[in-house]
Amino acid sequence: MKADRSESRRLSRPAMAGLGLILLAAGGYALWKHTNLLPGGAPSAARPAPAAAAAPPREDAPPSRIVRVSPADVRVIDHVRLSTEELLDPQFALFDPAALKLSAPLRLLDEIERPVLYAEVVNTSDRYVALSPKAAIAVFDGSRALDLRQAWSLPAHLYPGERVPVALTGRVERYTEVKTDWLPAKRAALPGPRPKLDVSVENTEASVGTGTLNFTYRYRYKYVTVHGRVRNDSPAEVESVKAWVSLYDAQDQLSGAAFQELRLPRLKPGESAPFQVNVKQHGANFARVEIVYDADAR
């Protein structure tokens, strides 16, 4: 028996829309299953993040004696080396810079008419020795700082009452002000660490010398030859004896000065040796000689 095609009816529109949604859902599910089975699995964005490793138990830090302060009040002392004993000594103190005095410089002319400023450093303390004193000396002409340099250094041991000459050389026609910045220095109580020497002046000779500048300019100058003797009165051997020699005129003004490491043999206790120093005289004729020494003990 044949069916009558005229009796079949088409699906309604709502039925067709429902069927389309079912087919679309089935296709999406099949596509998801297909991509999930591929090598590599799901995309990186869809992968679950690995579980974080458990952090090891934190150990308590050992106690520290360091105390950090912000902002820190740091005090830096240049040019001074302190030992552990000095750092831990609650009674340790540096030499008082107020006990060091610089006299007013005296302007003199050397043998070729170049200006030289002579001054003196004095230890006015009556109790302590200044160890390795150093001074930054600034000389001004008005507001302009002059370019001067110190001709020699100060002794490693400056005892109470000692006066050491300082020579400042350079271009200086005049000066209006001098500023002295004393660098930190250690101190030592009397009798102090310097070897005990007897440095005496036996005689002096005033002479006149001549010289030539640039093979054309001849000049004359006065100088004093100081003859003396050094005797070692300390219990140890002594070497490297240095001398700061000052010439003073009748008005007790510096008229010349010189520094020299004496050419002496190593002196055993009780031994002595002669020495000789030539000092150029740029001021008035000298009336007396003063010597400050320094030395190293073996």
Model pLDDT for residues 238-260, shown as the tens digit of each residue: 999 999 999 999 999 999 999 99
> Strands 106-109 and 115-123: what pairing?
antiparallel
Q: pLDDT per residue over 173-217, tens digit each? A: 999 999 999 998 999 999 999 999 999 999 999 999 999 888 888
Number of alpha helices (DSSP H) and beta strands (DSSP E) in the chain = 2, 17
Helices (H), 49-156: 84-88
If we measure between CA atoms, which residue out of 186, 153, 167 comes closest to residue 77? 186
**pLDDT tens digits, residue range 105-123?**
999 999 999 999 999 999 9
Please state whether 6 falls in left (phi above 0), alpha (psi between -120 and 50) or beta: alpha
| Per-residue pLDDT, 139 | 96
Tell me the pLDDT band of 1, cut-offs 50, 70 and 90.
very low
CATH topology agreement for domains 97-189 and 197-297: yes
CA distance 89 to 91: 5
- pTM to 2 decimals? 0.72
Structural fold of domain 197-297? Immunoglobulin-like (2.60.40)
Extents of the domains making up the chain: 97-189, 197-297
| Short-list 166, 176, 175, 173, CA closest to 113 | 173
CATH of domain 97-189: 2.60.40
Q: In b/e form, how buried is each residue of 226-259, taking b as 16+ CB within 10 angstroms?
A: bebebbbeeeeebeebbbbbbbbbeeeebbbbbb
